[in-house]
Structure 1
Amino acid sequence: MGSKTLSDYANLADNLAIRELAANYIDAVNRTDGAAWKATWSHDGTWILMGQEVSGREELFGFWQTAMASFKFAFMVLNSGTIDISGDTATGRWYVTEHLLGQDGNGLHIEGVYDDQYVREDGRWVFARRDYHVIYRGSEDLSGDYTPYS
């Protein structure tokens, strides 16, 4: 094994920071923490969800609030992911599982993948673009008890 360079360590640190960004996004969704969710986005970030494209942090936040209001319960699980870093930008892909209970009482199970673009903004990594693709969408019985985590 060769010796590590400063560049190798910087790349590792960036990789870990982007992984933490993805985890923080999921945590914010699960706790319905709007401020934490909004903080994961760049000022002019773009989110493509269910064929709708929304840009700008404030617009994204309003769109997210509306989407979250349609659920009594939302629990997202972050699965595997990949990251490719190039300076102050990067791309990645994350697989996610969603367990949802609509306001109408119907359960929903979603398997999806985010195709991401990241940017270093104000010294930290944030989402510049997230394009969500649904792989599976179907019923799931969510009639069990739910205890919110805050």
Structure 2
Amino acid sequence: MTALDYEAIRQLLARYSVALDLADRTTFESCFAADAFFAESGLPGEPAERFEGRQAIGEFAARFFQIAAGQIRHWSSPPLIDGDGLDAVGTSFLMVLRTGTAPGTGVILTGIYRDRYTKIDDRWYFAARDFSVDSQTASADPFVDRFDQFVIGRPAQQPFDQRTTSA
């Protein structure tokens, strides 16, 4: 694979997240090959689902847009990619974040994407995208709880340009 192939796949991953978070169904669908599938599993209270073909993937996205209403962001790690220039596989981690400022914001869930990519007419697409939510622990991490309490109890900060300094 060339450096341009790796970059094209990274751009595909970014286009996917931006389209999903900004409710752009046309762009989201265009990330997938015509016969691709998207699968997700491990969402609390939800059965595993698999969507085959662009139309079904687009219907998933439309449902997601209604639920998320622009209030979450997908934040992915840099992907690990391996391929031959026509087909490739990749793995990346995901954090789904609630938008806004503390204490109303935060990590909603984490997980892992396992992808297959295919190059058609010099453009990379998802051939398969499989998302698995990381398992959730029954008890909260004490460090995270202390940090959450710190953020909740912290006094409001003035914008930097409105702060006064003492000499």
Q: After TM superposition, is the score higher than 0.5? A: yes
Structure 1, unpaired ranges of 5+:
1-9, 102-106, 142-150
RMSD: 2.5
The answer to whether structure 1 residue 62 and structure 2 residue 62 are counterparts is no
TM-score of the superposed pair, with normalisation by structure 2: 0.68
Once residues 25 and 40 of structure 1 are traced to their aligned partners in structure 2, the CA distance between those partners, rounded to angstroms, is: 6
1:100 deviates by: 4.1
Cα deviation, residue 68, structure 1:
2.4
Contact 1:109 1:137 survives alignment (8 Å): no
Matched position secondary structure for 1:94: strand
Name stretches of at least 5 consecutive residues in structure 2 with no aligned partner.
42-47, 100-105, 138-147, 149-167
Confirm or deny: 8 A CA contact 1:11 1:85 kept in the other structure.
no
Matched residue type, 2:93: Y
Q: Which has the larger radius of gyration?
A: 2
- In structure 2, distance between residues paired with 1:64 and 1:26: 11
Shift in alpha-carbon separation, 1:24–1:137, aligned structure 2, 3 A? farther
Q: Which residue is 1:87 aligned to? A: 85
- Are the aligned partners of 2:20 and 2:61 in contact in 1 as well (CA < 8 Å)? no
Q: Deviations over 1:27-81 (max 9, x none)?
A: 1122111111111110011011122111000111011211221123121112231
Q: Does the Cα contact within 8 Å between 1:71 and 1:100 map onto a contact in 2?
A: no
User: What SS is found at the alignment partner of 1:80?
Assistant: coil
8 A Cα contact 1:76 1:96, kept in partner: yes
Partner secondary structure for residue 92 of structure 1: strand
TM-score, normalised to structure 1, is 0.75
Distance verdict in 2 for CA 1:67–1:89, change over 3 Å: same
Count of matched residue positions in the alignment of Structure 1 and Structure 2: 128
> Which of 22, 26, 37 is the matching residue for 2:28?
37
**Letter in structure 2 aligned against 1:123:** D
- The aligned amino acid for 2:129 is R
Is the Cα contact below 8 Å between 2:115 and 2:130 reproduced in 1?
yes
The one of 5, 10, 20 equivalent to 2:11 is 20
Return the alpha-carbon distance in structure 1 between the equivalents of residues 34 and 110 of structure 2. 28
Deviations 1:107-147 (A, max 9, x none): 87111110000001232000000010111569xx9xxxxxx
Asked if 1:98 corresponds to 2:96, the answer is yes
Rounded Cα–Cα distance in structure 2 between residues aligned with 1:34 and 1:136: 29
- Aligned-pair identity (%): 26
CA distance in 2, matches of 1:136, 1:19: 26
Listed one character per residue, the Cα deviations across residues 75-115 of structure 1 (whole Å, up to 9, x for unaligned) are 111223100012310000111110248xxxxx871111100
Structure 1 or 2: more strand by fraction: 1
